[in-house]
Amino acid sequence: MLNQRTIAKKVSVTGIGIHSGKKVTLTLHPAVADFGVQFKRTDVPNASVLRANAETVGATENNTTIGAGVNAVHTVEHLLSAFYGFGIDNVYCEIDGPEVPIMDGSGASFVFLLKETGIVSLNKSKKFLIVLEKVRVEVDDKWAEIEPSSKLIIDSTIVFAHPTIKSQNKVFEFSCENYINEIGRARTFGMLKDVDALKRKGLIKGGSLDNAIVLDDYKVVNPEGLRFVDEFVRHKILDTIGDISLLGHEIAGKITTFKSGHNLHNLLCRKLLATPSAYEIVSAASLERETVEAFALPRALAPSFH
């Protein structure tokens, strides 16, 4: 039996938003079964709680935003990705600013935080979204599709006209252990030549070599170099997991993406959810072992029970 998970205790983290440049404190609270992931802006008077799901996504340009206007939380994707990486279903997230802190530009700080905080198994079965039919979305030459598979597999291809990136492909078979070892540490990246244009749009005010891989016309500028030779496509997989976790359940399906981004990931979620014949939601108790065993945590992180 594979049960829903939450965190063992309240924990806070402070950092800056990559786009806003503002210092923010994010506080995570344990939550009950079937609560899901919910955000609350504590700096906005009378702000309603924002439930994180594909339909509450308000914007997908350069980041994934839950909500819209004054009551919104930007750049949720790396945090949500880390939650999925640990099989965490239920968390109440309070934040005193507009954007989840970027930390080092990867999920590593959240992975560390979740490891230190501990995981609790709740007294209710996990639910899985099982893909039954292929669903595909396309925008220009970019596309993404999801098709039946007993496990979550992400086959990602990125293409950049840059000598360090060029074309990278990675096929990632999800398990909590694989996520922590192969994906969680991969950082976001950007081109030095785009910095001025993004700053003029009010974006990346908090961006620096401390929270992104930065590339000039030829090479990586960061003195420490890359964490993986294919760190770029690994980060795309990290983003994809965060964005598709907004389906609201663990996922049994194979996702293939070509030059995808937050917009395409959200379109894929919305199209799947709008196609009732393409999926079903089932209890983990009724699933094959190979589907649920991907959520086994490394022994040192094994959840306690409430």
> Which residues does the annotation mark as catalytic?
262
Least distance from C-beta 114 to Zn ion, angstroms?
18
**Cβ closer to Zn ion: 94 or 239?**
239
Least distance from C-beta 184 to Zn ion, angstroms?
12
Taking residue 216's Cβ as centre, other Cβ atoms within 10 Å add up to 12
Region of 50-58, 65-73, 172-180, 231-239 interacting with Zn ion (CB under 5 A):
231-239
Least distance from C-beta 63 to Zn ion, angstroms?
7
Region of 3-11, 64-72, 161-169, 239-247 interacting with Zn ion (CB under 5 A):
239-247
Region of 1-9, 47-55, 183-191, 220-228 interacting with Zn ion (CB under 5 A):
183-191
Q: Which residues, including other chains, have CB under 8 Å from residue 24's CB and lie 6 or more apart?
A: 14, 15, 16, 17, 95, 96, 97, 98, 99, 100, 101
**Cβ closer to Zn ion: 145 or 239?**
239
Residues 251, 228: Cα–Cα separation, whole Å: 26
Q: Which of residues 242-281 bind Zn ion (CB under 5 A)?
A: none
Which residue do the tokens 């970027």 mark? 102
Region of 92-100, 180-188, 243-251, 257-265 interacting with Zn ion (CB under 5 A):
180-188
Residues 181, 183: Cα–Cα separation, whole Å: 6
The site that binds Zn ion (CB under 5 A) totals a number of residues, namely 2
Sheet of strand 3-7: strand arrangement: 3-7, 119-125, 304-305
**Cβ closer to Zn ion: 24 or 120?**
24
Q: Which of residues 85-144 bind Zn ion (CB under 5 A)?
A: none
Residues 119, 3: Cα–Cα separation, whole Å: 12
239 binds Zn ion (CB under 5 A): yes
Compute the half-sphere exposure of residue 116: CA atoms within 13 Å on the CB side of its CA: 11
Least distance from C-beta 267 to Zn ion, angstroms?
17
Looking at 188, 256, 266, 291, which residue binds Zn ion (CB under 5 A)? 188
Least distance from C-beta 261 to Zn ion, angstroms?
9
**Cβ closer to Zn ion: 40 or 262?**
262
**Cβ closer to Zn ion: 100 or 114?**
100
81 binds Zn ion (CB under 5 A): no
- Chain positions contacting Zn ion, by CB under 5 A: 188, 239
